A = this chain, B = another copy of it.
Amino acid sequence: MQLLKVDTLEQAREKLLQAVGDDWLTVCEVPLREARERVLAEDLYGIRDIPEFRRSMVDGYALQAKDTMGAGESIPVFLEVIEDVMIGTETTSVIRPGTCAYVPTGGMLPEGADSCVMVEYCEQFDASHIAVSQSVSPGRHAVEIGEDSKKGDLLFRRGQRLRPQEIGVLAAEGLTHVKVYAPLKIYVISTGDELTAPGEELKRGKIYDINTLALTALAEKHGFLVSGTRTVPDVYEELKEAITEARKISDLVVISGGSSKGKKDMTALLIDELSDPGVFTHGLALKPGKPTILGMDKKSHTLMVGLPGHPVAAMAVFEMLPVWLKRQQEGESEKLAVPAVLDGNVPGTPGRKMLLYVELKKNQEGYLASPVFGKSGLMSTMTRADGYAVVDLNQEGLKAGDQIWVQIF
């Protein structure tokens, strides 16, 4: 293992892709009821025309548009009503010139009808006739067969995150289940003799464990399934046992703390010992996030990620590497960012990418982004921020007025 062989973000990502290969993810079938926010694991094609029959979009009368030519409030057109179509039933009539049929919203249009007039423009004239006071063009208030989507159409690509509307389309097709990626199982380990579980008495010199809960929340936000969490002191054998147990039930083990160049630097040694062919990234050219360690255990197919101990840095690296990797593997498109104009200068940090935390203020044209400065370990930097921009800082840094793209938390 080479110590602190610092990778750029791009190098680390490239190595991650190679390390996990193409069989890290598994596919499962879930009921539509539970498919929200899951990511489609296959291209999905329409299995029927939607709609399968011509439907009315309004409560009204199905007719032939040419019959209404010239009709208006003062010169109505009189048509014979030959059917009262019930919703959910097949029509029996055929509309010919001079005739029409009542059709409720969503009801089937009878053969021969090419459009509908809303009831608001129709008046009962006698027992079998109505007066129509509006002229419509063909197709008006009617939905054609397959107008929403056609049998055989590509509905959604692999990688599509299922929003409520996609669930709706799958329901419209009559599907009850859908193939999505099984959530990656992640185990969250926090190391440090100073860590105390929230709720316990805090001894002088110790702090409450932030990373276990914050990383668990962040992982779940991004669709990981947390297979377990554990807080361990800086004891080699204990940490080794924790990682060994964790990888039995996980696709990914993250270990935060213990990754800087200090006296108790065990995470790197352990990831190296427990992975084959060993640590492939030790150090990341990212601010915050330098003390990052990556290794892959080919045998158990478990990715091991050593994260910085500082919560803000740990969360930054988690978003930039494991979350990025998951989206890449699942084929999800890039997350939408918000354009904003910097309202202050940002000094340069040559050679390193930086996560710039910003507060957004809306104005008429868009957003102003105020950098939230603060020492990198401070949680308040992140709670005050609406999001972050990943910026490449050259010698000069960024200036007020520069545009950045902000990822919203």
Could you list which residues of chain A lie within 8 angstroms of chain B, going by C-beta atoms? 32-33, 35-37, 50-53, 55, 57-59, 86-91, 102, 104-108, 119-120, 143, 147-149, 155-156, 163-176, 192-196, 198-200, 202-218, 220-221, 234, 260-264, 309-312, 315, 336, 338-339, 360, 365-367, 375-380, 382-383, 386, 403, 408-409
Q: How many Å lie between the Cα of A203 and that of B86 in the bound state?
A: 14
Q: Are B336 and A336 in contact (CB under 8 A)?
A: no
Q: How many Å lie between the Cα of A218 and that of B192 in the bound state?
A: 42
Q: Which residues of chain B are within 8 angstroms of A167 by Cβ–Cβ distance?
A: 213-214, 217
Interface centre among A168, A202, A380 (most CB of B within 10 A): A168
Evaluate whether A261 and B59 lie within 8 angstroms (CB atoms) in the complex, with A89-B205, A365-B339, A383-B165 already known. yes
Q: Are B198 and A163 in contact (CB under 8 A)?
A: no
CB of A292, distance to nearest CB on chain B (Å): 14
Q: Are A166 and B205 in contact (CB under 8 A)?
A: no
Q: Are A33 and B213 in contact (CB under 8 A)?
A: yes
Out of B36, B147, B169, B403, name the residue touching A220 (CB < 8 Å). B36
Q: Which residues of chain B are within 8 angstroms of A382 by Cβ–Cβ distance?
A: 165, 168
Q: How many Å lie between the Cα of A163 and that of B55 in the bound state?
A: 45
Nearest 9 A/B pairs, CB to CB: A88-B194, A168-B214, A164-B217, A165-B382, A59-B262, A88-B193, A176-B199, A164-B218, A339-B366
Q: Are A214 and B165 in contact (CB under 8 A)?
A: yes
